[in-house]
């Protein structure tokens, strides 16, 4: 990665990313991994160095795993971040402590955002095809039929502002909630910006030391207390309408707010005191022509569910492989329309959930708070309700119903119903008729010839895969379909019980990756669903899942949905290892 000031000549790239925040940095890592040429322009002189987001989920960790940065991110996280909602008397109303590791990682982690963002930034040094330029404020963007030209002001060697131009095929605005890219696109940004303000207080040398989260639903003054890695403690206090920002950031005033939390607030090592307002907004579309938006530029959500940073990761994960495919000439431009179709509804669902949860916490009417606490106590008596909150089942998981998909029953291209409706006996007798298409595929540990007990994604690589339970893809797919999969760059994978792995490795040949299911988790997944063949996208979502005889039609529908462009000659190799880049 080159992070020096560019020369005076126009800088050409395939993708321009505006903003070196979490969405922009992760997107650049994904595109760099796929060999695409990327320029990141950041208006500030350096990364933001104060804490912001505090929650990192399993989906985000899976993306971090995909780009090979787990080892540099882990030291700045604490897994299994338990949240307790307490009332004004300190009694626990609800506990959120999910135990699942369905996607290979703990469901919730606390984290220090500046350190994790820095790990994402430093990870770009692996890619000669990626450059990050700080102190480059984009003032204007011109779009034409062939690409975009960004006009940026940058400080030159003499300290004077210089105009520089950057050319690319596509531009992605990741500049936050006030995104100039979104404003240039002239798209709506609908939602709410409640008048309620909050004071954020971050301190070093955590004086409490408890590792988890307390949401204080105190009608006198709702608050949040969060234990974070590196001995950082965060408090958030809801402000009353008559309290000014100057008043509440005064050290003496802050000390008074903290007196119920620590014996001597004056002895704390403060990082910052800052007032902010929650927003819940979603852009009308995430793409217009050759310009796109991601992260807070596309959606703003309150902090309650800790999903702002994670939603940025989901955007980058969804958009990254699609931009790579289009710029590599493997898919048509219309593939990028599926970004909005797939991401917008889930972003809105997370915004709505966060807004609702916030209203539940910040009740200040004593009678209303009493009714809430009483209702919570009764509901906690029901194990199913208690589990609903403890295991975070209320969180809507992304399910794509439109996009790069094929319906498992009808093989319709670009759409997928959420249930299996076939009248075939394997479907009628299945334990689950919920379709896996449009959902994220699980990530258990598996055994391979090269490595025991590895996470699934590390075994199959970072591009497309076709996964078959108990059988060789070469035995159940016709040659025509195998040729299309090779052109797509998909890896052929067989998963079967560990007891059969060595036999299968000898029988199936070198061009089929054989994985042993030594935990039994993959067997259970396939046992519950009449879909023994799965087409797995680079972002780990299921594009198609079917009975093997439906596989050719399902594959064709998927390729149509992504506007696949077959190369003049087959790629000739399966692209799936960690160093893989898209075949041009």
- CA–CA gap between residue 264 and residue 277 (Å, rounded): 28
H/E stretch holding 269 reads strand 269-277
Domain boundaries, the chain: 11-77+110-189+281-346, 197-277, 402-561
CATH architecture designation of domain 11-77+110-189+281-346: 3-Layer(bba) Sandwich (3.50)
Closest CA to 26 of 118, 103, 90: 118
Closest Cα partner for 362 from 288, 420, 303? 303
pLDDT by 10s per residue, the chain, length 584: 655 444 434 458 999 999 999 999 999 999 999 999 999 999 999 998 876 888 899 999 999 999 999 999 999 999 988 888 888 888 888 888 888 899 999 998 999 999 999 999 999 999 999 999 999 999 999 999 999 999 999 987 777 889 999 999 999 999 998 999 999 999 999 887 766 788 999 999 999 988 888 988 888 888 999 999 999 999 999 898 899 999 999 999 999 999 999 999 999 999 999 998 877 889 999 999 999 999 999 998 776 656 778 999 999 999 999 999 999 999 999 999 999 999 999 888 888 776 666 665 666 667 665 655 555 554 555 555 455 444 555 556 789 999 999 999 999 999 999 999 999 999 999 999 999 999 999 999 999 999 999 999 999 999 999 999 999 999 999 999 999 999 999 999 999 999 999 999 999 989 999 999 999 999 999 999 999 999 999 999 999 999 999 999 999 999 999 999 988 764 433 333 444 443 33
Measured distance between the N- and C-terminal CA atoms of the chain, rounded to whole angstroms: 22
b/e per residue 87-117 (b: at least 16 CB within 10 A): bbeeeebbebbbeebbbbbbbbbbbbbbbbb
Q: Copy the structure tokens of residue 279.
A: 């927003």
DSSP secondary structure code for residue 440 in this structure: B
C-beta of residue 188 within 8 angstroms of C-beta of residue 284 = yes
Rama region for 459: left / alpha / beta (φ>0; ψ in -120 to 50; rest): alpha
313 contacts 60 by C-beta, under 8 angstroms = yes
Tell me, yes or no, if the two domains 11-77+110-189+281-346 and 402-561 fold the same way: no
| 224: helix, strand or coil | strand
Q: What gap in Å lies between CA 388 and CA 320, rounded to an integer? A: 33
C-alpha distances out from residue 552 to 238, 434, 545, Å: 57, 22, 11
> What's the length of the chain?
584
Contact in structure between 78 and 228 (CB atoms under 8 Å) = yes
What torsion do the CA atoms of 533, 538, 540, 543 make, to the nearest 10 degrees?
-50
Topology of domain 402-561, CATH: Glutaredoxin (3.40.30)
Q: What is the pTM of this model?
A: 0.90
Identify the CATH number of the domain defined by range 197-277: 3.30.70
Tokens (6 digits) for 183: 């404003």
Instruction: Give 503's contacts (C-beta < 8 A, 6+ positions apart).
Output: none
């Amino acid at each position: 990665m080159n992070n020096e000031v560019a020369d005076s000549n126009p800088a050409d790239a395939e993708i321009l990313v505006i903003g070196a925040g979490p969405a922009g940095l992760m997107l650049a890592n994904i595109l760099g991994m796929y060999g695409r040429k990327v320029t990141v322009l950041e208006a500030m002189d350096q990364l933001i160095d104060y804490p912001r987001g505090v929650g990192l989920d399993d989906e985000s960790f899976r993306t971090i795993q995909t780009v090979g940065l787990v080892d540099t991110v882990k030291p700045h996280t604490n897994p299994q971040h338990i949240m307790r909602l307490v009332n004004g008397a300190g009694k626990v109303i609800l506990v959120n402590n999910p135990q699942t590791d369905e996607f290979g990682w703990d469901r919730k982690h606390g984290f220090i955002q500046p350190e994790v963002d820095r790990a994402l930034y430093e990870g770009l040094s692996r890619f000669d095809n990626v450059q990050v330029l700080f102190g480059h404020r984009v003032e204007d963007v011109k779009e034409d039929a062939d690409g975009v030209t960004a006009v940026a002001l940058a400080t030159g060697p003499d300290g004077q502002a210089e105009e520089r131009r950057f050319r690319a095929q596509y531009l992605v605005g990741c500049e936050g909630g006030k995104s100039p890219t979104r404003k240039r696109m002239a798209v709506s940004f609908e939602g709410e910006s409640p008048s309620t303000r909050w004071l954020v207080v971050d301190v070093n040398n955590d004086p409490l030391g408890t590792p988890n989260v307390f949401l204080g639903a105190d009608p006198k003054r709702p608050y949040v207390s969060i234990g974070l890695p590196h001995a950082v403690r965060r408090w958030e206090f809801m402000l009353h309408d008559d309290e000014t920002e100057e008043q509440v950031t005064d050290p003496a005033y802050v000390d008074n707010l903290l007196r119920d939390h620590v014996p001597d607030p004056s002895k704390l090592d403060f990082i910052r005191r800052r007032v902010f307002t929650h927003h819940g907004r979603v852009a009308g579309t995430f793409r217009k022509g050759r310009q796109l938006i991601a992260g807070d530029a596309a959606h703003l959500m309150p902090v309650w569910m800790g999903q702002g940073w994670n939603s940025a990761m989901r955007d980058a994960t969804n958009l990254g492989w699609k931009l790579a495919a289009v710029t590599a000439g493997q898919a048509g431009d219309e593939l990028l329309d599926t970004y909005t179709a797939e991401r917008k509804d889930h972003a809105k669902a997370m915004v709505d959930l966060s807004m609702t949860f916030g209203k539940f916490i910040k009740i200040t009417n004593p009678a209303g708070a009493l009714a809430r606490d009483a209702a919570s106590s009764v509901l906690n008596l029901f194990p199913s309700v208690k589990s609903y909150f403890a295991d975070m089942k209320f969180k809507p998981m992304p399910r794509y119903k439109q996009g790069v998909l094929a319906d498992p029953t009808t093989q319709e291209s670009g759409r997928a119903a959420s249930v299996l409706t076939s009248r075939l006996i394997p479907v009628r007798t299945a334990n689950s008729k919920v379709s896996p298409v449009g959902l994220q595929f699980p990530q258990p540990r598996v055994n391979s010839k090269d490595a025991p007990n590895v996470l699934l994604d590390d075994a199959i690589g970072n591009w497309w895969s076709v996964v078959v339970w108990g059988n060789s893809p070469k035995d159940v797919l016709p040659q025509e379909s195998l040729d299309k999969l090779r052109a797509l760059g998909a890896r052929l994978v067989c998963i079967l019980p560990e007891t059969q792995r060595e036999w299968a490795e000898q029988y199936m040949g070198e061009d089929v990756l054989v994985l042993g299911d030594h935990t039994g988790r993959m067997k259970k997944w396939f046992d519950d669903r009449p879909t023994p063949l799965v087409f797995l996208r680079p972002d780990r979502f299921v594009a198609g899942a079917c009975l093997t005889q439906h596989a050719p039609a399902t594959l064709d529908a998927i390729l149509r949905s992504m506007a696949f462009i077959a190369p003049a000659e087959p790629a000739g190799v399966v692209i799936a290892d960690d160093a893989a880049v898209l075949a041009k």
